[in-house]
Structure 1
Amino acid sequence: MAKPTSGRGARDLRVKVKTARGRKLSSTLWLERQLNDPYVARARAEGFRGRAAFKISELDDKFRFLVPGARVLDLGCAPGGWCQIAVDRVNALGTKGGKARGRVVGLDLQEVEPIAGAEIHVLDFLSDGADDVVKGWLDGPADVVMSDMAAASSGHKQTDHIRIIALCEAAAYLAFDVLAENGTFVAKVLAGGAEGELQKLLKLRFKSVANVKPNASRSDSSEKFVVARGFKGISPDEADA
């Protein structure tokens, strides 16, 4: 992947945003960063709904879990960039001749603009019976459960870290209920020390667990992604519980 050009010429092309009346400095800095982010520009040019699309594509390039014919569940799918990548790679539209046709189901708490090849539903995945509902929509167990969810920011770094780890753990427990054997779980976490228990939990349930920071993640962000592959399934004791 080509990297942004450095040097004097590149600095001269950087967009500067003036502080406007009523706009906070933090908002101005965020807007300036967006306007100068090469991944934001690339997402716009290629028709993706956000720079996050490149994060899941990088992870899949490395681990190859979005294969034709796979059933994919995307938790917290708004605005839809991860679904867009999944639709293409699992052949949900059936456009890849001779290859199995996959299925993509996205869940969110809010309405999401339709995506060709994906089924988008408004559902709280923490609600009772959500796992059975999801398996019905997928027409079977999932091969991949993925989550780019993040809890609403409180402005306190340690609190936000704990919240996102708790959200990731909840997503993992849903994955245990809906994943097929040898399935994959992919989720965003924040580095910060509280993710140790999550790592232990995943290592018990999956054959391999990797932690990756894609190039598309901003260098100043503490986010990383856990990729757990080879779901071991549930034990007989759990099945009888």
Structure 2
Amino acid sequence: MAQKNTKRSKPDHYSERARKQGYFARSVYKLEEINNKFGLLKRSGRYLDMGAAPGSWSQYLVRTLQPDLKLVSVDIQEMKYQGPGNLHTVLLGDMYDHAIQQQLSSLGPFDALLSDAAPNTMGNRTVDTLASAGMAEHLIFLARSLVVPGGSLVIKIFQGGEEQNLLRMIREEYTTAKLFKPKACRKESFESFLVGVGRK
């Protein structure tokens, strides 16, 4: 569910670093920075990576927390990354699909729901931000039944007016709610991340 943009072909510092460290995408450093700031990831945890392809966030989770984690990754696209079978389960399907949601219910609950997913973009910022907000709201809804009390939530959002409404929703359900843009986000990008810590 990664956003595609053919104009972004020139490697940068984060792309080169990801290549050298064997990660599938530069987006791994967004999660690393979020974790360093908010302290979300704990050993012996259960984690859900939504919109996970190609798999750099899942790679980071396994590298950082193995052997003491259980990870479920979901995407409609094939994952390039597959962790050890005893630690990592990959579900190929749509997060809106009821069958996928049922499988997640049986595999959970989770200590955190993490998502770098983005909708297919149209090139119209108004349309794209509304689609992103709709996806974020859906993930907040899913977290109500999938994330344990005290757990966390990280969701990518395209900034464009709806993020404050979504933050209000998160504040009602989490002790801490923040809008955070990691340095690893491209300067020209209007993406940011909704972070909820301490589910009530």
- Calculate the TM-score normalised by the size of structure 1: 0.76
Partner in structure 2 of residue 64 of structure 1: 39
Distance 1:176 1:126 in 2: 15
Question: Cα gap change, 1:83/1:206 in structure 2, threshold over 3 Å: closer, same or farther?
Answer: same
User: Unmatched 5+ residue regions in structure 1?
Assistant: 1-25, 95-100, 233-241
Distance 2:83 2:97 in 1: 27
Distance 1:132 1:153 in 2: 28
Partner in structure 2 of residue 108 of structure 1: 75
8 Å Cα contact 1:135-1:142 kept in structure 2: no
1:30 partnered with 2:13 = no
Give the CA deviation at 1:113.
Answer: 2.6
Give the CA deviation at 1:219.
Answer: 1.2
Out of 97, 101, 105, which is 1:135 matched to?
Answer: 105
Partner in structure 1 of residue 53 of structure 2: 78
1:125 partnered with 2:95 = yes
Deviates more, 1:144-153 or 1:123-132: 123-132
8 Å Cα contact 1:78-1:112 kept in structure 2: yes
1:53 partnered with 2:31 = no
8 Å Cα contact 1:67-1:89 kept in structure 2: no
Structure showing greater radius of gyration is 1
Give the CA deviation at 1:129.
Answer: 4.8
For 2:195, the aligned partner's letter is V
Moved over 3 A (4+): 129-132
Partner in structure 1 of residue 186 of structure 2: 218
User: Unmatched 5+ residue regions in structure 2?
Assistant: none
Q: Which structure carries more relative contact order (alpha carbon 8 Å, separation 6+)?
A: 2
For 1:30, the aligned partner's letter is R
In the comparison of the two structures, how many residue pairs are matched? 193
Q: Alpha carbon RMSD of aligned pairs, Å?
A: 1.5
Distance 2:93 2:33 in 1: 28
User: What is the percentage of aligned positions where both structures have the same residue?
Assistant: 28
8 Å Cα contact 2:56-2:81 kept in structure 1: no
